[in-house]
Amino acid sequence: MSIKCQCKTSRRDFIKSIVPACAAASLVMQEHPVFAQGIDPAAGSMPHKFDQLIDRKLTYIDFYALRYREFIKLTKALVREWGKDKVIEFLKKSTAERAFKRGQAQAKKLGDNSLATYVQQFRPPKYQKSLTHKIVEDTDTAFQMIVTECIWAKTFRDAGMGDIGYAHICHGDYSWPQGFNANIKMERDKTIMQGHDCCNHRYIVT
């Protein structure tokens, strides 16, 4: 069967094909003791944290490359079939919906949808192996962090897919807090995924 026939089955098939792999990878990250504890099993010199080993052979960046390998392959095929603009439009829509639902689920589980509760997930040691970030503003009504390294951006940009990575990963950052609390808004005009020197996430209560 040709790629053309596969791509035109339905857009729902596209989501079904990538969600199981991403969900499985997320489960590995939650349950693997190295991810859970932030342990570097490598002895001797300390490489960059993205290059540190999860086990004897697999590094963090290797893990992310494997995690998104099939998604990237499939997306490239869809770009050839539909064109990049349509694929990006579709990814942004599905990512926004997914992130909004994630925010809703978090607020329900935590029983508190305040800004302080939402941004708690970004405080150290959270994301210590996947991001390098610094909190530069922290009040009752505003929270800003500057991200200078991002393993998601490195993964997609190394594959020449930064614009796809933005649509699939970064775009959901806007609707995520909205799902958590309709009065929390994210402001941002730079992302590493798009080639800037940092991501400047700022969350405010409106």
Contact 81, 4 (CB under 8 A): yes
Q: What's the pLDDT score for residue 150?
A: 98
Task: Name residues of the chain where pLDDT drops below 70.
Answer: 1-44
SS3 label, residue 136: strand
pLDDT tens-digit readout, 93-146: 999 999 999 999 999 999 999 999 999 999 999 999 999 999 999 999 999 999
| Count of H-run helices and E-run strands, the chain | 9, 4
pLDDT of residue 13: 56
Sequence-separated (6 or more) residues with CB below 8 Å from residue 96? 171, 172, 174, 175
Bridge partner list, 184: 205
Closest CA to 152 of 162, 137, 160, 142: 162
Task: Please state the separation of Cα 147 from the chain's center in Å.
Answer: 13
133 has which bridge partners?
147
**CB 38: neighbour CB atoms within 10 A?**
11
CB crowding 70-92: b at 16 or more within 10 Å, else e? ebbebbbebbebbeeeebbebbb
Do the beta carbons of residue 199 and residue 188 sit within 8 Å? yes
